[in-house]
Amino acid sequence: MDGFPILTMMMCVPLAGAIICLFAGENGARMTALAATLITFALGVLLWLNFEIGGAQWQFTEKADLVAGFSYSLGIDGIALLLIMLSVFLMPICILASWTGIKKRVGEYMSAFLFMETLMIGTFAAQDIFLFYVFFEAGLIPMYLIIGVWGGDNRIYASYKFFLYTLLGSVLMLIAMFWMTTTAGTSDIPTLMQYSFPAGPQTWLWLAFFASFAVKVPMWPFHTWLPDAHVQAPTAGSVILAGVLLKLGGYGFLRFSLPMFPQASAEFAWLVFALSMVAVVYTSLVALVQHDMKKLIAYSSVAHMAIVTVGLFAFNVQGLEGAVIIMLSHGLVSGALFLCVGVIYDRLHTREIDRYGALSNNMPYYAVFFLLFTMASIGLPGTSGFVGEFLSLAGIYQISTTVALVCTTGIILGAAYMLYLYRRVAFGPEKNEDAQAMGDITVREWAMLAPIAAVVMWMGVYPESFLAPMRGDIAALDARLASAVPASDSELVVAAPRAEAANAVAPVEGHSDGGAH
Amino acid sequence: MDFAPSFALIIPELILTGAGLILLLWTAWAGDKAARPISLAAVLAFLVSGLMLVPGLHSGAIGPDTLAFGGLLKIDSFALFNKALIYLAAIGCLLIAPAFFNSEAAGSERGMRAEYSVLVLFAALGMSVMVSANDFMSLYLGLELNSLAAYVLASILREDTRSAEAGLKYFVLGALASGILLYGVSLLYGFTGGTDFAGVREGLTGELGTGALFGLIFVMAGLAFKIAAVPFHMWTPDVYEGAPTPVTAFFATAPKVAAIALTARVVFDVFGAQVDAWRQIVMFTALASIVFGALGAIGQENLKRLLAYSSINNVGFILLGLAVATQAGAASMLIYLFIYVAMSLGSFTALLMLRSESGDLYETFGDISGLAVTRPAIAWSLMLLMFSLAGIPPLLGFYSKFVVFQAVVEADLIAFAAIAIAASVIGAFYYIKFVKVMFFDAPTDLVVGKSGFAHWALLGVMTAIISPLGYLLTPSISDLAGKAAGALFAAV
């Protein structure tokens, strides 16, 4: 693979597809988009196969001086590899999901998605901090269009909110980046990851990055754009939003906040924990009372992402690994759940939970898939959700038992709202004739759901495939964070040793002369 | 005194003067029938004089060799860079004009007038003098030559009341600004005893007296008027809305470049020893322009008015680069100017293409509703231009904000940068409103008029420049801007 610019290729293929889609007819655009995403996925597989586990930290590096001020340099480590794989894997599925649902302005729609794919790969592969920012921010444009043009009734409000909220979060980060590059004298991410900024400015830098990433993750109370955006976006838009865009926030913490500002991260861990605890409990309760399926899953996303942030700030290997696995798992599972909603939405054109019921009778295969993803969302052992949540919570337990306790209730609440949703949709009495008349999933829908189901099971049964590529990077990050680990409340407290053995029986008064033993 | 080297330095201006005079005679004899060949001849004159700038730009002209006429003019690479921008903008405004004036709806009353090109030539000549001024006399001469031509340009549609109103407003307020500037200059002359920049600078070293401070403030106020910076911006929306659109495009680009370059020259060359005195003024106007430019635009329905507020907003960002008072800041300001000119020309060209069947222009949000369905090419270009103006990557508009904010942060003005960039989010609100109206709203099918080749070509070129492809230009632009800023600081 030496010298072949595979990362650039992976960005160029969807970009070329995006331009062709604008000019191709409706069917031409669909076919072009599918072909482009499949080729990119094939390149992604090639990328993974050629990724040398345990090799250099940064692989497939490319560098070109095209721009004054920053450089076009790409390269990936194991974490970026996994997130790129998630993006290129979900993308063909998104295209399939929009195959019949999108009827107006198909060319522009497909083009926006392909453009999005280019930007996502670029964000994860960028090795220059400004190049990262360019890709990170540019994603606003296609997503704004996707929500605004093809969204539901309240799409304008949702698109404005999404755009302005995330923009405000990011611009402060840009100022922080300028300060960092001026101080460190380079905009190269690997170098900056090793650079020690003074403790005072670290606080401000951390807050500036937090302003951006907390909105993207999203953390409570910066999450309010998410339910609006999800509900209004078309199905595939929700899949990309939940599947990949939310991961940008977590990736940002992992790539910037933690390694670049370890002391500030430790200092603000309490803030992250507090917000995450609120998010887990509050958004789970909110999810419980939703009538709209998409809104329910959107709130559940906030709860799951809160466990990601908790894991990230656990400052140990389990927490970090767990956080990455939840990001991957949540990308797959919530994406799949949105697809499941999309499947029945395409048939009945409503997301109202009460309009459905007893779908397991007339849509048995659908019910099976839906059940699998419901269970994966809850975190049932054997699915990907379990691995991530277990690792994260095990990680955080080493730092704070309280946080672990509160966050674990999220699993119980998650089971509550997901099973309640499933019961109302798939079981129960037959309520609506039109819902009972819906046909089971088609071949196209099989092709969307089956691959995700397979990967969810794979990740649940043999997570080593996903842990291996990032092990070295997590270990490096853990070593970098070692100096700043906050005090733990679950350490064993060593008391003063007792005078005698623990099982010694105190002599009883009056029987000191022995007797019956 | 040997004037040969001086004349050699001002060859571009000589060409423009000669062309202007010849074309004026041609106009007088041939009348409006010859408007089109005259405009082409003017474009040719700009191209030729633009070519004359290339060697100096490339080598980065700097030092005492660049002084002409005993220090009245300074043709260094800073002047050359801005001249190149001015000529390019003027060419753009000449190219888009005929199709606008000669539409069917207008009839003979509104046909392209031959004077248009001549006035643009003389205005650009005035700007050329402005950007190379090294003495308050030549500064004022250039400023007035530019302004007088511009007042006439604003009211060139004599039958149109809005155009006449714009011309009158521009004249009255412009004259007021010139008066304020002149008063400031006279105070500086009184307190320092000179009108040449170096002499005034020498007189201003050390403690700044009250009289000289007043002089400085009046000069800054006059210049702020010319660049339409808050709080002297109130004429902009009215003039921009009333003037014919090609003229508005001209006002938004070339004179802005000239006035900003002039301001930079004055603050560094004349007030270079009093950085603290003018810096707070510039910092305030920069922030105020960003905020008011953004807030004022929110309620606007008229697109030209909105772009007027947008230009105020952009001037704020350009002034940020100036407020830094470093060479990097000046270079970033020049890069911003280049990108701003491309974005403005592109946006106004797109507005010119929003025509009805009979050629009338549409100017409000309601008219462009759903444009993405009916006229996708215009809508996509306009969308890219608007995102670029909002500074969203990967469009080139982001790069302009990138360099400016980088310079601001390097100068350690972090709080200032944070406030300014947060205010830029307000601006994003109305830029994305353009996109919302064109892409999300139901189509009205009003915009059906055909556009000429010149419009399409200019829109295409400007869109290509602000698209991510434009980043390939950045190494050479920042090299040129760096040399120009170096020349600006060489004297200091």
Its domain, for residue A434, covers 274-481
Contact A386, A380 (CB under 8 A): yes
B332 reaches A (C-beta below 8 A): no
Q: What sections of A126-198 are H helices per DSSP?
A: 129-138, 140-150, 155-184, 189-194
pLDDT computed for residue A65 by the predictor = 86
Q: Enumerate residues 6+ apart whose C-beta is below 8 A from A361.
A: A430, A436
pLDDT computed for residue B446 by the predictor = 81
Buried-exposed string B121-160: b where 16+ CB fall within 10 A, e elsewhere? bbbbbbbbbbbbbbbbebbbbbbbbbbbbbbbbbbbbeeb
pLDDT computed for residue B143 by the predictor = 94
Contact B475 A175 (CB under 8 A): no
How far apart (Å, rounded) are the C-alpha atoms in residues B383 and B438?
Answer: 8
> Nearest residue of B to residue A109 by CA position?
B439
Greatest Cα-to-Cα distance within chain B, rounded to the nearest angstrom: 70
Instruction: State what percent of residues in chain A have pLDDT above 90.
Output: 61
Q: Enumerate residues 6+ apart whose C-beta is below 8 A from A390.
A: A322, A379
Contact A178 B478 (CB under 8 A): no
How far apart (Å, rounded) are the C-alpha atoms in residues A437 and B465?
Answer: 55
Contact A178 B405 (CB under 8 A): yes
Distances (CA, A) of A177 to A181, A209, A210, A292, B290: 6, 9, 13, 40, 22
pLDDT computed for residue B107 by the predictor = 53
Tell the residue number behind the tokens 């670049």, with chain if given: A260
pLDDT computed for residue B310 by the predictor = 94
Q: What is the rounded average pLDDT of the residues B251-257?
A: 94
Which of A132, A175, A187, A205 to probe by mutation at the B interface, max B CB count within 10 Å?
A175
Q: Enumerate residues 6+ apart whose C-beta is below 8 A from B492.
A: B268, B269, B272
Token representation of residue A170: 């990011």
B415 reaches A (C-beta below 8 A): no
B432 reaches A (C-beta below 8 A): yes
Which of B326, B380, B383, B471 to probe by mutation at the A interface, max A CB count within 10 Å?
B471
Q: Answer whether residue A47 is part of any domain.
A: no
Q: Nearest CA of chain B to the CA of A176: how many Å?
A: 9
How far apart (Å, rounded) are the C-alpha atoms in residues B17 and B454?
Answer: 26
What digits encode the pLDDT tens for the residues A281-297? 999 999 999 999 999 99
Q: What is the rounded average pLDDT of the residues A192-213?
A: 91
**What band does A241 get if pLDDT is binned at 50, 70 and 90?**
confident
pLDDT computed for residue A154 by the predictor = 81
Contact A175 B440 (CB under 8 A): no
Contact A144 B432 (CB under 8 A): yes
Contact B409 A175 (CB under 8 A): yes
Contact A175 B435 (CB under 8 A): no
> What does B275-311 look like in DSSP terms, one character per residue?
HHHHHHHHHHHHHHHHHHHHHHHHT--BHHHHHHHHH
What digits encode the pLDDT tens for the residues B25-46? 999 998 888 888 999 999 999 9
For residue A450, what is the enclosing H or E element? helix A443-461
Q: Answer whether residue A507 is part of any domain.
A: no
Q: Nearest CA of chain B to the CA of A332: how many Å?
A: 28
DSSP-derived 3-state class of residue A243: helix
Residue A99: pLDDT over 80: yes
Contact B369, B441 (CB under 8 A): yes
Distances (CA, A) of A347 to A80, A152, A342, B286, B396: 37, 16, 9, 55, 43
Which of B435, B438, B473 to probe by mutation at the A interface, max A CB count within 10 Å?
B435
Contact B422 A159 (CB under 8 A): no
B296: Cα separation from own chain's centroid: 20
pLDDT computed for residue A24 by the predictor = 87
How far apart (Å, rounded) are the C-alpha atoms in residues A366 and A359?
Answer: 8
How far apart (Å, rounded) are the C-alpha atoms in residues A85 and A44?
Answer: 6
> Nearest residue of B to residue A119 by CA position?
B394
Tell the residue number behind the tokens 């990032």, with chain if given: A470
Q: Enumerate residues 6+ apart whose C-beta is below 8 A from B450.
A: B355
Report strand pairing: A72-76 vs A59-64: antiparallel
| Sequence letter at residue B313 | N
Q: Chain A partners of B399 at a C-beta cutoff of 8 Å?
A: 67, 69
A-B Cβ pairs (cutoff 8 Å, strict): 95
Q: Nearest CA of chain A to the CA of B57: how many Å?
A: 18
Q: Chain B partners of A174 at a C-beta cutoff of 8 Å?
A: 402, 405, 421
How far apart (Å, rounded) are the C-alpha atoms in residues B203 and B197?
Answer: 10
What digits encode the pLDDT tens for the residues A354-394? 888 888 888 999 999 999 999 999 999 999 999 999 999 99
pLDDT computed for residue B306 by the predictor = 93
- Provide the 10 A C-beta neighbour count for residue A176: 26
Contact B478 A69 (CB under 8 A): yes
What digits encode the pLDDT tens for the residues A413-467? 999 999 999 999 998 888 888 888 888 889 999 999 999 999 999 999 999 999 9
Contact A144 B398 (CB under 8 A): no
Q: Chain A partners of B428 at a C-beta cutoff of 8 Å?
A: 163-164, 167
Q: How much is the pTM?
A: 0.92
pLDDT computed for residue A513 by the predictor = 54
B463 reaches A (C-beta below 8 A): no
Q: Nearest CA of chain B to the CA of A173: how many Å?
A: 10
Contact B351, B367 (CB under 8 A): no
How far apart (Å, rounded) are the C-alpha atoms in residues B340 and B356?
Answer: 28
How many domains does the structure of chain A reveal? Answer: 1
Q: Chain A partners of B422 at a C-beta cutoff of 8 Å?
A: 168, 171-172
Omega within 30 of 0 (cis) for the link into A14: no
Residue A515: pLDDT over 80: no
Q: Answer whether residue A440 is part of any domain.
A: yes
Q: Chain B partners of A168 at a C-beta cutoff of 8 Å?
A: 422, 425
Q: What is the mean pLDDT of chain A?
A: 89
A288, burial (CB in 10 Å: exposed 0-12, middle 13-18, buried 19+)? middle
Q: Answer whether residue A502 is part of any domain.
A: no
Q: Answer whether residue A78 is part of any domain.
A: no
Report strand pairing: B67-68 vs A72-76: unpaired
pLDDT computed for residue B64 by the predictor = 82
Instruction: State what percent of residues in chain A have pLDDT above 70.
Output: 98
What is the predicted ipTM? 0.92
Q: Answer whether residue A88 is part of any domain.
A: no
The DSSP letter of residue A101 is T
pLDDT computed for residue B110 by the predictor = 65
How far apart (Å, rounded) are the C-alpha atoms in residues A334 and A376?
Answer: 9
